[in-house]
A and B are shown apart, each in its own frame.
Chain A
Amino acid sequence: MADTSHLVRGDIVSGLEPAELVEIQRVAPFGEKVLVEGVGLSTRRYIKRPLAPDALASLTKVRGKAFTLKGDSSLFLLGAEAERIRIAHQFDPLFAMSSSVEDPLPHQVEAVYRYLLPLPRIRFLLADDTGAGKTIMTGLLIKELLSCGVIRKILIITPSGLTKQRKEEELEEKFSLHSRLVNGASFEAEPGQFARTEESMFIVSIDVLARNESCLRAAAETQWDLIMVDEAHKLSAYEYGSKQEESERYRAIKSLARRTDHLLFLTATPHRGRKDTFRRLLLLLDEDLFQKDEHVSDMVREQAAQYGKAAEDFEQEQPIAKARNRFFLRRLKEEMVDWDGRPLFRDRHTRTIGYDLTWEEKELYDAVTAYVRSKRKEAKEKKNRNVELTLMVMQRRLVSSLYAITRTLHNRLSALEQVLRLLRDPSRSEAEKKRLLRVPLTPLIRATSPSMRI
């Protein structure tokens, strides 16, 4: 029979019940086994287990019935400190701020503690001006949610080239938040890494997700607590009547949006002049609320009122200009102040200054403009919008700088020489030449910024 002398009534053991410690009530022989009876310390549930000798030996006595004061005091202090940190958020409403090396500014604290944390489900567009410190706000938010135990599995999606900076400079140095960087090669080496339990925060570039199908599938098969998308304006989708066009990046985030409780978009340029694109971005945050423009309009007005703001309009760029509501927040540089109320950024003054071109510049300007005008007239007559676009680009480069127009003219010359070689190539048929010359530009024009659209 197994030796039971090391266990007596009143001992506290681990290993008898998976989730809790048990106080032993009785240990008695039970055939070849030993019957151990006890009470769970947390649940106060009565537990009765017949244990084989090896199972009995695997029980760990956490505390004997008799107390001694001969334990390691440093371990006790360590345990007490760990417990203090674990529950600190209950006593310090600004816990993440207190435990970070970063000293946040008033508008950063306001965004996190006034707008984001009170939301039961964060589906939000944080659209503050450039330089507002949106990454600091997200660091604070993540730290606060992690310490409360609200989130565990986090995916941070950044533009290509910013992943390392985000991991090392912004999360580790400022907030002591450790994350795992995922790129194409590291994903191929370990395709199941999103499921790892020992790590909870992953950083991946939007293009890895958009172009690596298996990586996107693996991310979409994981249930996330928080997904954060940096530079969210790059998720573009357009509506043309009943037709819709979605970019690869947009489609990637669309497939992840339902796989997370909290979804946070960051951008300094949320509205680029297209109502449909803006609404499509919001649609990723909430597919019910943002289905129709009029619903959005009503909802935004209603929510803005809660924050003491005048009714916001959903026309042109209005919904995002200085917006404060439950769905998005935008503060401009002019509104941001330090803790003493001093403006963080100097005022911006715009004025137009005229100047005279030198005679050499004027000569070049006139020559290029004459070329552009004559060709533009011809392009208009032939109804060729592609060439009109080419010429507009050239005129813009001309007024930009000498270097810019020289480079554009060089590129145009090389391109025309290529076209000539193609046209004079005897091995190609006329039909093939025409096909090669006719490059559709519409998708390219759509891909450009509004200022490039002509």
Chain B
Amino acid sequence: MTEEEREPIDQRIIRQVLSSDPAEVQQECDEIRRLHAQAEDLLKRGHHEAKFTELLKVL
């Protein structure tokens, strides 16, 4: 799939939840917010991933 085709599908997949209880969804939301902050922090610091360092060695 192209990025263009993938995007709307991702949007629909990503909305799936296990509960319709707002408290439980809020709890999951907080957990995701924490994970996102952790990932974004690394990204913003320009973290160089070990995977790509290894890949460059091969290339």
Contact = CB atoms under 8 A, between A and B. Distances in A.
Chain A interface size, as a band, is: 35 or more
Nearest to B26: A420
Interface in A418-454: 418-420, 423-424, 433-434, 437, 439, 441, 444, 447-449, 452
B39 A416 contact: no
A389 B13 contact: yes
A415 B14 contact: yes
Interface in A378-415: 378-379, 382, 384, 386-387, 389-390, 393, 401-403, 405-406, 408-413, 415
A412 B14 contact: yes
B54 A364 contact: no
B35 A368 contact: yes
A416 B38 contact: no
Given A402-B42, A449-B1, A423 B32 contact: no
Contacts of B26: 420
A182 B18 CA distance: 47
Contacts, number: 124
**A-side interface mostly:** helix
Given A368-B35, A415-B11, A423 B28 contact: no
A449 B40 CA distance: 29
Contact of B17 (A409, A411, A416, A452): A416
A43 interface: no
B50 to A, nearest CB: 5
Contacts of B55: 353
B10 A411 contact: yes
A449 to B, nearest CB: 6
A356 interface: yes
A368 to B, nearest CB: 6
Interface residues of B, number: 37
Interface string B28-56: 11011101101110110001011111110
B36 A406 contact: yes
A390 B21 CA distance: 19
A30 interface: no
A441 B39 contact: no
A411 B50 CA distance: 25
Contacts of B25: 416, 419-420, 423
A355 B20 contact: no
A416 B51 contact: no
B49 A401 contact: yes
A92 interface: no
A364 B25 CA distance: 22
A375 interface: yes
A437 B50 contact: no
Contacts of B22: 420, 423-424
Interface in A266-281: none
Contacts of B16: 384, 386-387, 389-390, 439, 441
Contacts of B13: 386, 389-390, 393, 441, 444
A361 B9 contact: no
A367 B35 contact: yes
A294 interface: no
Interface in A344-394: 353, 355-358, 360-361, 363-364, 367-368, 371, 375, 378-379, 382, 384, 386-387, 389-390, 393
14 contacts: A361-B49, A363-B38, A367-B35, A402-B43, A406-B42, A408-B14, A412-B14, A412-B32, A413-B36, A420-B22, A420-B25, A420-B29, A423-B25, A449-B1
Interface of B: 1, 9-18, 20-22, 25-26, 28-29, 31-33, 35-36, 38-40, 42-43, 47, 49-55, 58
The 10 closest A-B pairs by CB, nearest first: A409-B36, A355-B54, A406-B39, A416-B29, A386-B16, A423-B22, A415-B15, A415-B14, A390-B16, A387-B16
Interface of A: 353, 355-358, 360-361, 363-364, 367-368, 371, 375, 378-379, 382, 384, 386-387, 389-390, 393, 401-403, 405-406, 408-413, 415-420, 423-424, 433-434, 437, 439, 441, 444, 447-449, 452
